[in-house]
Amino acid sequence: MEPIRSVYEDDPDMLEIVREFAAELPDKVAELERCLEAGDLAQLQTLAHQLKGAGGGYGFSPITEQAASLEHALKEGQDATVLKDRTRALCEVLRAIEVPE
Amino acid sequence: MNPEVPNPNRVLVIDDSEPIHKLIIVHLKREGLEVTGEMDGQAGIERAIADKPDLILLDIDLPDVDGFEVCRRLKENPATRDLPIIFLTGTDSTDSKVRGLDLGAVDYVTKPFDQVELRARVRAALRTKRLQDILEQQSFLDGLTGLWNRAYLDRRLESELNVARRYERPLGLVLVDIDHFKLVNDRFGHLFGDVVLQGVADAMRAQARRSDMVARYGGEEFAVLLTESSLRAAVYVSERLRASIEGRSFAARGESVGVTASLGIACTDDLPGEITAEELFNAADTALYAAKDAGRNCSFLNDRGCLSQVDSAEAGSLPARRHSD
């Protein structure tokens, strides 16, 4: 996947918190994967919901889109295959996030 | 002391997501706003009650009580009922927007929010808050003199007593009643009476510090609430006030008319135990009646139920209070 950059990276006030946000993402990926494996769907939904709300605000609209799609699947009670696909898609987006030094 | 309505600028964010708090802080600092935050509903309610922010940004999905319930409780509590709330919603559903607005919220912002839109909605809510603050203040002002009115005196007396108790600081109250005001009205007319009331109000404003609160709480009755003031300081203010009122003259039909006033003083320091606003007020009122009985144009103080007349010469020699604070 192509690197994903924040639309706010040229805004000095924003850049600092965008970096902090991006630094937390590896932990989010680990937690998403853990929840999926453990079948902790409630926590998975909370994570998806929070990423949906914050991603676009930090200038990463693909995070919001993928997280919304996962949240939607969870709310609809979709089967394990769909949840697995969408969680993986979200994690892929999170891994592609890149912030300039 | 003089009523001024400050620009509302304190925003409370109640949201369970740390990244959302950080985002809002960056965006709202650009508006020159002060932002505080809480991570769950219960803490948010407590903070709202304690801080009385000018605006609350409230997330709907909170871990403990949801945003709708937080809103309902804030609107139920007289202390927080009038605080404007903007909902932060994670969904685009019309139902939840309508539900939030019907619960008393002023607006909603959908997450992820556009910063320009968020800032514009916050500005709009704060503009309305300022008008609301001005209206509220108007309802606590006396139209004739521009001083605070009885309703505000009652409210401030309660809140200043709480502060005085919490920080163990004395609180003084001086009640002022113009002598034979009815005779002045009967002889020179009510319009002249109004001029006298305005003149006495000016005298009181001139003698009070910024931190003091001056009110007209009845027809010819005034009060000064002195924060962090000992009985000695209250005595000093009272005598200066009395002399300043006595020293004024008013022109009526070509003659110069003067008025005097009787004053009653009480201070929390000199009353036993935890006293209520009513007890402090009654203590000063009893002293005021004693001043009337003693022939008027004098100050009496109520020191633990013991009434004594203030010696003008002695009071005048007390060190002046700082006017800078």
Region of residue B168 (left: phi > 0; alpha: psi -120 to 50; beta: else): left
Q: Which of B38, B160, B220, B239 is catalytic?
A: B220
A17 vs chain B: nearest CA distance in angstroms? 7
Q: How far apart are CA B54 and CA B126, in angstroms?
A: 7
pTM greater than 0.80 (yes/no): no
Dihedral over alpha carbons B312, B211, B154, B185 (to 10 degrees): 50
| Least confident span in A35-39, A90-94, B271-275 | B271-275
ipTM of the shown complex = 0.87
More reliable by pLDDT, B253 or B127 = B127
Residue B163 has pLDDT above 90, yes or no: no
Question: Half-sphere exposure of residue B248, counting CA atoms within 13 Å on the CB side?
Answer: 21
Q: Is A10 helix (H, G, I), strand (E, B) or coil?
A: coil
Indicate the SS3 state at residue B261.
strand
Q: How far apart are CA A6 and CA A23, in angstroms?
A: 13
Say which residue, B25 or B167, is predicted with more confidence.
B25
Give chain A's count of helices (H) and strands (E).
4, 2
Contact B90 A57 (CB under 8 A): no
Distance from CA of B55 to the nearest CA of A (A): 21
**Is A56 in the B-facing interface, judged by CB distances under 8 Å?**
yes
Residue B321 reports pLDDT greater than 70: no
CB of B112 within 8 Å of a chain A CB? The answer is yes
pLDDT tens digit string along B183-192?
999 999 999 9
